[in-house]
Amino acid sequence: MASQAWCQKERVKNKAWFVRVLLTVFFRIIEIISDMIFWFIHKKKEKTILPPIENLLLLESASSLARKIRDQKITSEEVVKVFIGRIKVINPIINCVVDNRFELALKEAQKVDQMIQSGQKDKETLELETPFLGVPFTIKDCFSVTGLRYTAGLVKRKDIIGQFDSDVVALMKKSGAIILAVTNVSELCMWWESNNKVYGRSRNPYDTNRIVGGSSGGEAALLASGGSPFGIGSDIGGSIRMPAFFNGIFGHKPTRGIVSNFEQQPVAEKVLQTFLVTGPMSRFCSDLLPMFRILASDNITKLKLDEKVTKLRYFYLENFGKVPLLSRVHPDLKEAQMKVVRHIQQAYNIPVQKVEFSKFYHAMEIWFVKMSTGGNPTFAAELAMRQGEISIGTELLKFCVGQSDYTLPGLAMGFLEKFSLSSTHPTSVKMMAMCDELRRELQELLGDDGVLLVPPHPTPALYHNQPLTKPLNAAYTAIFNVLGFPVTQVPLGLGSWGVPLGIQVVGNLYNDHLTLAVATELERAFGGWVSPSTINC
C-alpha cells in the first residue's frame, strides 16, 4: 500500500512538472512572437518629442515652490499659470489630462497671493497651517473633485460630475494646495495600461509608442512631463507603482489603512478596502513625506517619520522564480538592482543579503484569490455601475465589430472571473493560508529596521496593447497589496529601451518612514527623475 501511494504521488508530481514545462514553453513562444510583432509594428513609428522645458519653475519640487510662495519670491498665480501652460502644450501629445479647472485655479491662486501680501499671517504660521499654500496639484480620474468629471474611465459614467471632494482632495485643499486637473486611468482602474473608451489612450513621455502603466498612468505621465508639481494616485495591484516606474517618478504605496479611500471608484468594500491604498506621487522624493503627512491626517500618529539609512538592514530579491506565465526580469532591471546593492555596500559598508521566498512563486494566484473572495460585486456588475451585470458574451461580440463601450481588458476580466473559486475551495484556502504565512515570514525578516529591494516589474514600459500578451507581470506589485506592506517606487535612470528603470523599496507594516528614507538616499545617489524633454532655461 505504501508503495502504491508513493507511486501515485510521483505520478502526480511528474504530471505537474510536465504541465509547468508545457506552459513555460508555450508562454515563451507567445512572448517571443509578440515581442517581434510589436517591435515590427512600432519600429517605423516616429516618437513624438515633448516640447522643451523653458521655465525653471517646472523643475522645482512642490515643497520648494511652497516655500518660495510663502517668502513672496514668486506668486501662486505665476506658478499656476506656468503649469497650465505646460499642460496645454504636452496634453495633445501624451493625452493625460481629461478635465480641468484652470480658471478657478487661477482665481484661487490670486486669493492666495492677496492673503500672503496682506500680512495676515507670518511665514511660520503659513507653513504650519498650510504647508502647500498656493501650489497646484492633480489627481487621477477615479476620485471625486467638485465640478470635474468623475468617470473612472467608464463610458456609463462619462456625464457624471463630482458633487463634492473626496477626503484626500479635501485634505490637500486644507493644506493650501490648489486642485488643477484630473488625469486619465484604465477602465475602472483595473488594468495596467491607461486606456479607456471615454478619453482614449495615454502615452509615455519618454517614448509615445509605449505605455504609461495603469491605473494612475495619466497622473504619472503628467508628472514626468513637468505638467504638475505633485499628484495623488491609488493602488490595489500596483496602480501607483507601475505608472511611477514606467514614467520615471517617485510613488509611495502606504501601509494599508493609513490614507482614506473615501469617494473613489470603483468602491472597495470589506477586505478589499485594506488592499486598496491611496498615496503620493512626484518627480521629487522630497515631496512624498510632506504630502504623506497630509494624506495620512490623524493616522500619522501610527507611523514613525524619521530614520537614517545607515542604521537599517538591507535585503534584495532578484525575482519570483521561474513562473511559467511570468516574464523573466529584464537584464537592465537586474543591473539597476545590483547598482543599488553595490552602492549601499560601498557607501555605508553595510551588507545586503540576497533572499528567496518560494511563496512569491504563487504571487498572482494569491492576489487573484484574495481579490475574488473579498466580498465585492463582480467586475461585470461594476461595469454596469452595479445595476445588474453586463453580458460579457454579448459585449465581446460587439467588441469584435467595434461596437462595444468596454475595453478588451475589462471584458476579459469579467469573463475570467466566472472561473474564480469560492473562498471554501481547497485551492483558495491554500492560497489564503500561504498569504498569511508569507506575511509572517517577511515581517520576521524585516523587523523594525529592515527593507527589501524588489524589481518593480519584469520589464520596462512595453508597447501599447502589449500587456495583453503578458497579463500576469503585475505580480511584482500586486502581491504587496494583499500583504499590506508599504512600498516606495524609486526611479533609477533610463535603460537600453530609452525608458525609465527603477526599484521597489519594501518595508514592514507601518514602517513607511524606512522606505521613504531609502528612496531619498537613492535619489541622491542616482539622480532620481530624468526629464523626457530638453531643458532650455
Beta-carbon neighbour count of residue 357 at 10 Å?
A: 16
Where are the alpha helices (H) located in 417-466, listed in sequence order? Answer: 426-446
Nearest to 185 by CA among 132, 134, 112, 240: 240
Beta strand ranges found along 227-274 (DSSP E)? 230-235, 250-253
Given the residues 63, 68, 76, 140, the one annotated as active site: 140
3-state secondary structure of 308: coil
Q: What is the DSSP letter of 462?
A: P
Place of cell 496639484: 137
Pairwise CA distance, residues 336 & 527, whole Å: 13
* Active-site annotation holds for 215: yes
249 with 281: CB under 8 angstroms? yes
193 with 247: CB under 8 angstroms? no
Q: Quick one: residue 152, left, alpha or beta (phi over 0 = left, psi -120 to 50 = alpha)?
A: left
Alpha-carbon distance values, 40 to 45, 211, 333, 495 (Å):
10, 16, 24, 20
Output the CA angle 440-441-446, nearest 5 degrees: 100
Pairwise CA distance, residues 380 & 385, whole Å: 9
Alpha-carbon distance values, 462 to 34, 42, 47, 52, 356 (Å):
11, 11, 14, 24, 27
Nearest to 406 by CA among 395, 397, 391: 395
Pairwise CA distance, residues 380 & 413, whole Å: 8
Contacts by 11-18, CB closer than 8 A, 24 or more apart: none
% helix / strand / coil in the chain, to the nearest 5?
50, 15, 40
Place of cell 555596500: 345
* Active-site annotation holds for 81: no
Given the residues 76, 215, 234, 533, the one annotated as active site: 215
Number of residues that make up the chain: 537
Strand partners, 210: 463
Pairwise CA distance, residues 517 & 525, whole Å: 13
Given the residues 144, 239, 428, 533, the one annotated as active site: 239
* Active-site annotation holds for 311: no
Query: What is the set of active-site residues?
Result: 140, 215, 239
